Structures are given as C-alpha cells and as structure tokens.
Amino acid sequence: MTMIGPTNPSRGVLRPLGLDEVRLTDGLWAERQQLNATAVLPHCTRWIERAGWIDNVRVLGARGPAAGRRGREFSDSEVYKLLEAYSWEARRSGDPAAGRVITDWGATLAAAQNPDGYLNTNFGRAGQAARYSDLEWGHELYCYGHLIQAGVARLRAHGSDDLVTVACRAADHICTEFGPHGRNAICGHPEVETALVELYRATGQDRYLAQARLFVERRGTGLLAAGPFGREYFSDHVPVRRARVFEGHAVRALYLASGAVDVAIETGDDALLQAVVQQWQRTVATRTYLTGGMGARHEGESFGDDFELPPDGAYAESCAGVASVMLAWRLLLATGEATYAELTERTLHNVIAGALAADGHAFFYVNPLQQRVAGAAPDPDALSPRAATGVRAPWFEVSCCPTNLARTLASLGGYTATADAAGVRIELITGAEIRTSLPGGRRVGLRVVTQYPWHGQVRVQITESDGAPWRVSVRVPSWATGATLTVDGQSRSAAAGQYAQAERPWRPGDELVLELPIAPRWTFPDPRLDATRGTVAVERGPLVYCVESLDVPAGLDLDRVAVLTGAPPVDAPAAHGAPAVNVPAVSAAADEPPSWPYAADRPAAGATAGQPLRMIPFYARANRGPAAMRVFLPEHRTDRRADRPADRPADRPADE
Ligand SMILES: [Zn+2]
C-alpha cells in the first residue's frame, strides 16, 4: 500500500498514517487546512505569478533570454514548494483547481528541463554563471530538493505525471553529476538529502539513497568555502556524526539533521541516528524558545549559544519551525518516544499556527517573543524585506516561509497519528477521522472528538473494529499532570509525558475519554536564560500566551508591567476567537523614564494587589493591527529587599 504523506521510513518503531488514513474534521487545524486551501494557496500562486518566478521557468522552457530573470537565486524553490502543497491539497480535498495548477506548471517544468536533467533558471544560460559554479550560495541542489519533495508528494498522492518525471530526471542528473565518480561537492543549503531518501522510499531506486548518504557524509569535511558567517552557517564545520548540538543557520541545520535521520534509518546506521538524537536533546534543552521556535540570532539566521534566547531579538524563523517539525516527527517514528511528538505539537501551535494571518494573506518570517514597538502595517501590494516588522507581510523578497507553511498545512494529516503492531496512536490531538489497517489487514477506525486546545476533554470513539483486541493510545502532554483516562466507565490516572493506552476487543461505538487539565499555568525560565531571568510566562494547554499593548488597561503599560504570581492565572472571557487569560499586574517602575537606567539600589518594592491584565494565545497576536507584544513578563516580587539583611532586622516581616 502506498503511504500518502511526506515521510515514510521503512524501519522504525512507528508507521506514520497518511492523508488517506487521517482526515482532520474540525477544530484549530481543520480550520487552518481550510484556510490554506481557500486563501493561502491562491495567495501564494498569485504572488509567484506576479513576482515573475513561474515566468522565469516559462521563459527558460521557451529558450528565452536569461536577462529578464526576476527574483533571488532560489526563487525556483518557491514554485516547487507550492507544487508540493498543491499535490497534498489535491489529494486531501479533491479540488480540481489544485490538480490544474500541478498539470499546468508540471508541463512548464518539463519544457524547461535540460535533456540531461538539469533544471535551474539562474545558472547555465548565456549571460549567467555556469552550472554549479557557486555551490555555497547558488542553491541549485537545494532547489532540486524541493522539486524532488514535490515529485514525491505527487507520486504518492496521485501517481506519475510531468512533475514526477521531472523530479526523477533531476534526481538521476544529481546522481550522475555528484555521485562517487562525479563532483566531490555539496550544496550550501542542505535539503536535497532528505528529499533523495524520500524519493528512494517512494521508488525503490537504491541510487537515490546512496547519493543522499554521500551528501551527508561529505558535509563537515570543509568542501565549502567559509563565508562571512563561517562554515557553521552551512553546517559544514564538523561531520554530522561528530556534531554535539545544532549550530549555525537553523533551517539548514534542521534540514540536514532530517536527512541524516532518513539516511540512518534506511541504512541501519544507529550511530548516526544516536548522534542526531543527542544533538536534538541538547538543542531542545538549551537553544529552543518556549514557543518551540529555533534560531536566537538574526545574524546568520543562526541558533546562537546555549541559553542565548532573547525574546525580543529572537529570529525563530517560520521555516525553522517547519524544519523542526520535520525532524521531530522523524525521530518520533524512529524511537516512539513521546517527547518528539510533544515538541511537534508545541511548534505547530505556537510557531506554525501563528505564522499566518487570520485571513491567510500575510505571514511572519521571524517570530520574536517580544515586540517592543508596534510595527508599521506593510503595504499589502508590495514585497517586504524579510523580518522587517512586527506585523505579517503578504510576500517577501526571500519568500521561503509562506510556501513552507502551505505544504505543511496541506500535509498535516500526515503528522497526526501513527500505528504500530498493537494498534493506533494519536500524536496530535485534534478533531479527526482515522481509518487504517493493522498487520494482517485488520481494518480499524476511530474518531477523535475534542475542542482541544481550548478544552481538555478528548473523546476517542471506535468506528471500525473486527472484534479482536487492539490498542488505542493517546499522547498525554508532559504538562498534563492529573490527567485521567476513562474506558468502560472505569477511570484511572494517565501519566503525563506518556501515552494513555487501552487495549480491548473494541466494538464500534466504544469510547475512551481522556481528560487533560488545561487550566492556565505559570511557566518559569531556567535561571541560565539571562534574557528572561526574573520573568514568567503563561501557558494554557499547548498554547503559549502573550500580552498585546491593545489589551493593556489604563494605569499599566507594557514596558513597566510586572505580574503577581502568588495565585495561578485565570481564564477570562474569550476574546478575538480564542480563550483569554487574566493575570494580576502592577506597574513596576516610575512613570517617567530615568535619566540613567541604572542605580545603586534595587527598585523599591511595589504594590501587592494587581489589576487584571488580559493575555491571548501567542499565535493570535498581530491580528488586530500593529501592537507591541510580550510573552515573558517580569515577576513582581514584594520581598525584593529581603536578601539585603542590613536593611531589615531578621524579626521583621519581609513586606515592609
Ligand atoms: Zn523561511
């Protein structure tokens, strides 16, 4: 049976269920898939036409001149990523319009491809640099990677056509050009590695796997010239299997790690897999934002050092969120460990869900956790420089993120549930219909009914079963202490950070009910995170919350606010389509700015009673126009002077 989804490893603890096995029915993710279909995909298509990026391919196919080519060196990749999104979407929804774009653009690509399989609008013609003359920055293999992923999506979701043929011919060309007897070289931007392994999985052609393995093994051996950001930028400073942590450009490092996991799985290279597992663990422990965002520095779009996670300076590119989901999902399938699914959930709910505007027509490139000054609303008719404002933009000069979000949302059914020999596991809790076959061809089905992440009740109803026992597992997030699972009227506690499981000879109509405690909670950063020391954040279920300046009441302002953490934050009436949370807040500094923002003494202790300050989900930010925003709020301490015994006799109470 063909698996219809982005990644299908031949080994591992879990088998991913595909788009034909999982249908998102309602809730936050089904709504975003629908928004993707009706708004994001047409929007991306219009902009790719308008920016001239598909015209570049048309002109190449017509043997036209290179002189009028528009866009950056990697603009071909946006065509490919959108084609991948359409391939999933055509299968998910059956929308004939999606199929027409694939057929039309697929024929355009076929006409443009060189007889030897080469395809790139930026190199090789009269007036352009020669093929593969700039592997550091040229992105030719990176573009092929996205072309191949689009081809795999189309092959799995539909079957062979022009797009698939073009992708396979490009892959064959790569194997000839960069194989053991070809150029000993790699691309500045990893991506082709994971794509080649997936094409191997989809076609069974060993040479694609061998080529991917060669690319992974060559990296870190100094084949690329160090540029202004060093070899770390290209993940070429140390071999993958010797690296200790993800470094340099976040998207590149995460795509490479995904490809390395794919190679490790298919070649049985457990040492390589363990190397990536250890890099992931340290990166999550020291280089990951509360939102799941990765990339602390704008310079080099890079990870930064351990514990260097400034909320205002955060880069946390939307594409790094996509790449992190790709990697964590692969590690989940390889190991079966819930921690990977939990990071996937965190990143989806806080980076991916918020990267697109409520109307699907604008996108965040970077996702900082604090916006000190409200950004200027961008011209909806103009290309934006990346990362320029605190509001979403319709399109970018470097427009990697919108199409990356589009392909992820269209294929999200493939990141929702898994199966093993014993049964079905629900990894991403959301309204869904699941039907699959267990070993032996046993047909099973279940329906997930829930208003998660707004509410904590998750009902799993059996819709199909053959009467023999099989297991249903639902992931319990690590914050969900006190969760319970009820089956057949019997309730028991369900351990946080593991899977709540029940195995029965299920009959259609049977139900499991998981109750997750979803009350808002305080979250404190590790003291080693200097940039957020002394602050606190609010989470509710898998959602990180933030304050927008639009919600700050009279008497408070966002720069001076501090919150009282003596009691938990409380639910507030829903606002702007999402549950709000109130926290008690005070003003922690004088109204007037000081002449010098440093002093010989700590600030005086402040008020003990706060007024309610409304917080909204981080993903819902910046949908009401430009606003200042922050996730981490200073914690207001009424005992600030308690650690200065000279000020206070020991027998006096701390609150003076
Ligand atoms: Zn991006």
234-279 pLDDT tens trace: 999 999 999 999 999 999 999 999 999 999 999 999 999 999 999 9
**Per-residue pLDDT tens for 617-639?**
999 999 998 999 999 999 997 65
Ligand 1 geometric centre to CA of 466 (Å): 46
What is the CA(5)–ligand 1 centre distance, in A?
Answer: 22
DSSP character at residue 135: T
The pLDDT score that the predictor gives to residue 647 is 42
* CB proximity list for 274: less than 8 A, separation 6 or greater: none
Distance from Cα 12 to the centre of ligand 1, integer Å: 29
* Cα 528 to ligand 1 centre (Å): 29
- How far is ligand 1, taken at its centre, from the CA of residue 399, in Å? 6
User: If we measure between CA atoms, which residue out of 6, 542, 3 comes closest to residue 325?
Assistant: 6
Residue 656, pLDDT above cutoff 90: no
CA 284–ligand 1 middle distance (angstroms): 20
At 166 the pLDDT is: 98
Cα of 139 vs centre of ligand 1, distance in Å, is 14
Strand locations in 555-644, DSSP E?
561-563, 570-575, 578-587, 611-617, 629-630, 633-634
The one-letter amino acid at 628: A
* Residue whose tokens read 């979407």: 89
Cα 264 to ligand 1 centroid, rounded to whole Å: 26
Each residue of 405-433: pLDDT tens digit? Answer: 999 999 999 999 999 999 999 999 999 99
Q: Which residues pair with 423 in a beta bridge?
A: 420, 471
For 426-456, letters b (16+ CB in 10 Å) and e give: bbbbbbbbbbbebeeeeebbbbbbbebbbeb
| 533-539-543 Cα angle (round to 5) | 125
The answer on pLDDT for 389 being more than 80 is: no
pLDDT of residue 378: 82
* C-alpha of residue 318 to centroid of ligand 1, in Å: 5
Q: Count the alpha carbons within 13 Å of 598 in the hemisphere toward its beta carbon.
A: 0
Could you give the C-alpha distances from 525 to 522, 528, 537, in angstroms and in order? 10, 8, 8
- Cα of 373 to ligand 1 centre, how many Å? 23
Distance between Cα 321 and ligand 1 center (Å): 9
Backbone angles phi, psi at 432, to 5 degrees: -160, 155
What was the pLDDT predicted at 643? 44
* Tens digits of residue pLDDT in 328-340: 999 999 999 999 9
Can you tell me the distance from the alpha carbon of 407 to that of 70, in angstroms, rounded to the nearest whole number?
A: 23
pLDDT the model gives residue 590: 75
Residue 473 Cα to ligand 1 midpoint, Å, equals 34
Taking the centre of ligand 1 as the mean of its atom positions, its distance from the CA of residue 586, in whole angstroms, is 38
Distance (Å) from CA 41 to ligand 1 centroid: 16
Percent of the chain with pLDDT over 90: 88
The pLDDT tens digits of the residues spanning 333-366 come to 999 999 999 999 999 999 999 999 999 999 999 9
Ligand 1 center from residue 241 Cα (angstroms): 26
Distance 9 CA to ligand 1 centre (A): 26
For the cut 90, the answer to whether the pLDDT of residue 576 exceeds it is no
Mean pLDDT over the full length of the chain: 94
Average pLDDT rounded to a whole number, residues 141-168:
98
Q: Do residues 279 and 259 touch, judged by C-beta distance below 8 A?
A: no
CA of 365 to the centre of ligand 1 (A): 6
Q: Give the chain's end-to-end CA distance (angstroms, integer).
A: 72
Tell me, in angstroms, the distance from the centre of ligand 1 to residue 317's CA. Answer: 6
Please compute the mean of the pLDDT values over residues 29-33 and round it to a whole number.
98
- Give the pLDDT mean for 287-298: 97
Taking residues 353-381, report their average pLDDT: 93
CA of 405 to the centre of ligand 1 (A): 9
CA 341 to centroid of ligand 1, rounded, Å: 22
Q: How far is the CA of 77 from the centre of ligand 1 (A)?
A: 12
**Both tokens of residue 395?**
């399109």
pLDDT at residue 654 greater than cutoff 50: no
Model confidence pLDDT, tens digit, residues 506-553: 999 999 999 999 999 999 999 999 999 999 999 999 999 999 999 999
Query: How many angstroms does the Cα of residue 401 sit away from the middle of ligand 1?
Result: 4
In DSSP terms, which residues pair with 426 in a beta bridge? 417, 474
Angle of helix 192-203 relative to helix 250-267, nearest 10 degrees, comes to: 30
Q: Which two structure tokens, joined as six digits, stand for 655? A: 């609150």
Rounded to the nearest angstrom, the distance between the alpha carbon of 483 and the centre of ligand 1 is 37
517 beta partners:
none
Query: How far apart are the C-alpha atoms of 499 and 559, rounded to whole Å?
Result: 41
With a cut of 70, say whether residue 393 has pLDDT above it: yes
How far is the centre of ligand 1, averaged over its atoms, from the C-alpha of 395 (Å)?
11
- DSSP assignment string, 279-333: HHHHHHHHSB-TTS-B--BTGGGB--STT---TTT----HHHHHHHHHHHHHHHH
Per-residue pLDDT band at 151 (split at 50, 70, 90): very high
CA of 228 to the centre of ligand 1 (A): 20
Q: Are 137 and 73 in contact (CB under 8 A)?
A: yes
CA of 76 to the centre of ligand 1 (A): 14
Contact assessment for residue 238 and residue 275, using Cβ atoms and an 8 Å cutoff: no
CA 98 – ligand 1 centroid, Å:
23
Predicted local distance difference test score (pLDDT) of residue 639 = 58
CA of 182 to the centre of ligand 1 (A): 31
For residues 250 and 378, the model is more confident at 250
| Alpha carbon of 504 to ligand 1 centroid (Å) | 45
In this predicted structure, the answer to whether residue 390 has a pLDDT above a threshold of 50 is: yes
- CA of residue 46 to ligand 1 center, whole Å: 18
Residue 451 has pLDDT above 90, yes or no: yes
Distance 366 CA to ligand 1 centre (A): 8
CA–centroid distance, 36 to ligand 1, in Å, is 17
Measured in Å, residue 387 CA sits from the centre of ligand 1 at 10
Digit-coded pLDDT (tens) for 550-571: 999 998 999 999 999 999 999 9
